């Protein structure tokens, strides 16, 4: 029963529901249902036990981890901070878990958020393992990242930690700015779709049109105004069924004033050619099951080139929208293009593809070379026990040979990887295939550590899609700590 309540996020009061009580009684008259308070206490106890188990798992973690975070305010006006942890397993699977859903009882300042995240990092003993924090572009997250970096360096000597700006949030900001040019056309399309969904006569008449054309019925979608990708799907559906809606408007003339004009449809068609690749990019970067930080640079390069090409159509709607989107992306591009170059090069399907100038390639090479020089001795000391020398001369001979071999190995393995043509392969499977070769051990460890970085904070945002049903207008009495326990256990 507890598993059902947690996994389905049922209200604890379900045990007091008369119909549910009757069902349980019919199944087993001898079974005594626990009270809602007992359910609450059990869930809190299980949550505490699971956190201890999780801490034991991470106690001797030998790899880097990445964190994504986001804040959300429930309908009860209680704010929560989600902290999601990502890592690559021994089987080379990218895993993530909701580390905590922290109730925020103070102002959402960057310092307070950083210290809240740091508490979790300390509790789970991950201070030296945290490589990155991916969050949106709010000013408090900038402050949070700087303060967290200071705390990690001060208390754990962690100087590798870096902040990543959420690519999905950047794309959302850019598209929102671009489509402001065609707001009226989009607004008209939205109002028409809304009217069809609300009006039973129009809805039924549209069904008849689909039947007449012998096509499966498709209902117009409505977007969420704060999420541009839902707007794209709404417009895509309307364009797809335009033949049928044109017929509907002819048969119901009163709809004409709501219906987009031919000029509106032209504008919508223009922006759809721009939005389609950005929508695909967003879907790609949303994934938390495969490395995305390498994709980030590729995606932005392609989008930038497409937008530049669109701007050549002077005075067109497409050109003006593309210009607005480009201007917003330019605000972030300098930071994004230098973000985790190590992760970009450790993706065997792209490597240097997005580095257009020799200077950029040289800088990227220098970056990964310096990282390799840090990892090579660490891996060797782990994998190869050093036998005791038989004499003083033997000691010095071994040292000089070891240094010489390290130089040869460093040049040969890293150069071998970088000089090999790009391979269209699954990134994690590629490195898994190299894991058994000791010669590749430093690069394999680098890949396991640096491919974990997340391009978006979407995994943390997705928690709130579940939370808004757990804490809703119908179920608003749940204590913040109990909501925290229940939602964390669900993951």
| pLDDT, tens only, 372-387 | 999 988 665 555 555 5
Which residues have CB under 8 Å from 164's CB, separation 6+? 132, 133, 134, 135, 293, 339, 340, 453, 454, 455
Q: Which of 340, 374, 391 is the last residue of a domain?
A: 340
Residue 402's pLDDT is what? Answer: 56
> Of 340, 363, 380, which closes a domain?
340
Q: In this structure, are 331 and 371 located in the same domain?
A: no
At 68-86, the pLDDT tens digits run: 999 999 888 899 999 999 9
Whether residue 94 is found in the same domain as residue 68: yes
Q: Residue 150's CB: how many other CB atoms inside 10 A? A: 12
Same domain, 461 and 434: no
Same domain, 149 and 177: no
What domain range includes position 198?
172-340
- Do 377 and 330 have their domain in common? no
Query: Do 183 and 272 fall into the same domain?
Result: yes
Over pLDDT 70: what percentage of the chain?
92
Tell me what the mean pLDDT of segment 97-117 comes to. Answer: 93
Query: Same domain for 184 and 332?
Result: yes
Query: How far apart are alpha carbons 310 and 22 in whole angstroms?
Result: 65
Residues 105 and 199 grouped into a single domain: no
Q: What is the pLDDT of residue 403?
A: 52
Residues 219, 177: one domain?
A: yes
Query: Mean pLDDT throughout 60-65?
Result: 92
417-441: pLDDT as tens digits: 999 998 889 999 999 999 999 999 9
Q: Which of 281, 308, 340 is the last residue of a domain?
A: 340
Name the pLDDT band for 207 (thresholds 50, 70, 90): very high
Q: How confident is the model at residue 127 (pLDDT cuts 50, 70, 90)?
A: very high
> CA-to-CA distance for 74 and 72, rounded, in angstroms?
6
pLDDT above 80 (res 408):
no
Confidence of residue 10 (pLDDT cuts 50, 70, 90): confident
Kindly report which listed range (30-44, 231-245, 477-491) carries the lowest average pLDDT score: 477-491
Total domain count, the chain: 3
pLDDT tens-place string over residues 86-105: 999 999 999 999 999 999 98
- Partners of residue 80 on adjacent β-strands: 72, 103
Gyration radius from the chain CA atoms: 28
pLDDT of residue 278 exceeding 60: yes
Residues 307, 401 within the same domain:
no
Asked whether the beta carbons of 68 and 452 are under 8 A apart, the reply is no
Whether the Cβ atoms of residue 221 and residue 243 lie closer than 8 Å to each other: no
Pair 285, 194 in one domain: yes
The C-alpha atoms of residue 444 and residue 438 are separated, in whole angstroms, by: 9
Per-residue pLDDT tens over the stretch 327-370: 999 999 888 888 899 999 999 998 998 898 899 999 999 999 99
* pLDDT-derived band at 399, boundaries 50, 70, 90: low
Same domain, 128 and 233: no
Per-residue pLDDT reduced to its tens digit, 151-206: 999 999 999 999 999 999 999 999 999 999 999 999 999 999 999 999 999 999 99
Across 293-316, b (16+ Cβ under 10 Å) vs e yields: bbbbbbbbbebbebbeebbeeeee
Under the banding of pLDDT at 50, 70 and 90, the label for residue 404 is very low
* CA 230 – CA 32 distance, rounded (Å): 47
Helices 262-286 + 228-240 axis angle, to 10: 130
């Amino acid at each position: 029963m507890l598993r059902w309540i947690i996994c389905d996020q049922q209200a604890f009061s379900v045990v007091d529901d008369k119909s549910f009580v009757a069902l349980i009684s019919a199944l087993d008259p001898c079974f005594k249902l626990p009270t809602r308070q007992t359910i609450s206490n059990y869930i809190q106890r299980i949550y505490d036990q699971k956190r201890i188990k999780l801490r034991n798992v991470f106690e001797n973690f030998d790899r880097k981890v990445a964190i994504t975070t986001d804040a959300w305010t429930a309908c009860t006006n209680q704010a929560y901070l989600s902290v999601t942890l990502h890592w690559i397993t021994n089987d080379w699977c990218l895993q993530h878990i909701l580390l905590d859903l922290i109730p925020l009882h103070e102002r959402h300042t960057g310092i307070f958020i950083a210290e809240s995240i740091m508490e979790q990092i300390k509790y789970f003993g991950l201070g030296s393992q945290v490589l990155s924090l991916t969050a949106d572009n709010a000013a408090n997250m900038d402050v949070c990242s700087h303060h967290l970096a200071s705390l990690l360096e001060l208390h754990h000597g962690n100087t590798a930690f870096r902040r990543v700006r959420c690519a999905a949030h950047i794309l959302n900001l850019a598209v929102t700015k671009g489509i402001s040019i065609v707001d009226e056309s989009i607004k008209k399309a939205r109002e028409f779709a809304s009217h069809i969904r609300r009006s039973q006569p129009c809805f039924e008449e549209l069904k008849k049109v689909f039947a007449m054309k012998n096509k499966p019925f498709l209902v117009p979608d409505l977007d969420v105004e704060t999420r541009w990708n839902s707007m794209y799907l709404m417009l895509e559906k309307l364009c797809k069924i335009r033949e049928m809606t044109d017929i509907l408007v002819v048969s119901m003339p009163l709809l004409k004033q709501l219906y987009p004009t031919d000029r509106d449809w032209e504008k919508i068609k223009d922006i759809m050619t721009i939005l389609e690749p950005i929508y695909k990019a967003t879907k790609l970067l949303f994934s938390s099951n495969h490395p995305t930080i390498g994709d980030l640079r590729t995606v932005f390069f392609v989008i930038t080139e497409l937008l530049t090409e669109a701007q050549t159509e002077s005075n067109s709607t497409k050109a003006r929208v593309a210009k607005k989107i480009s201007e917003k992306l330019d605000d972030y591009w300098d930071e994004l293009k230098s973000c985790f170059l190590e992760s970009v090069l450790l993706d065997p399907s792209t490597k240097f593809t997005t580095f257009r100038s020799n200077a950029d390639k040289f800088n990227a090479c220098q970056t990964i070379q310096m990282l390799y020089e840090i990892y090579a001795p660490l891996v060797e000391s782990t994998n190869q026990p050093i036998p005791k020398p038989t004499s003083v001369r033997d000691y010095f001979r071994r040292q000089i040979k070891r240094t010489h071999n390290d130089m040869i190995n460093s040049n040969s393995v890293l150069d071998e990887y970088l000089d090999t043509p790009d391979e269209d392969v699954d990134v994690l499977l590629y490195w898994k295939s190299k894991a058994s070769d000791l010669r590749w051990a430093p690069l394999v460890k680098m890949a396991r550590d640096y491919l974990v970085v997340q391009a978006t904070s979407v995994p943390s945002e997705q928690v709130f899609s579940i939370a808004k049903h757990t804490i809703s207008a119908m179920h608003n009495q749940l204590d913040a700590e109990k909501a925290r326990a229940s939602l964390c256990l669900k993951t």
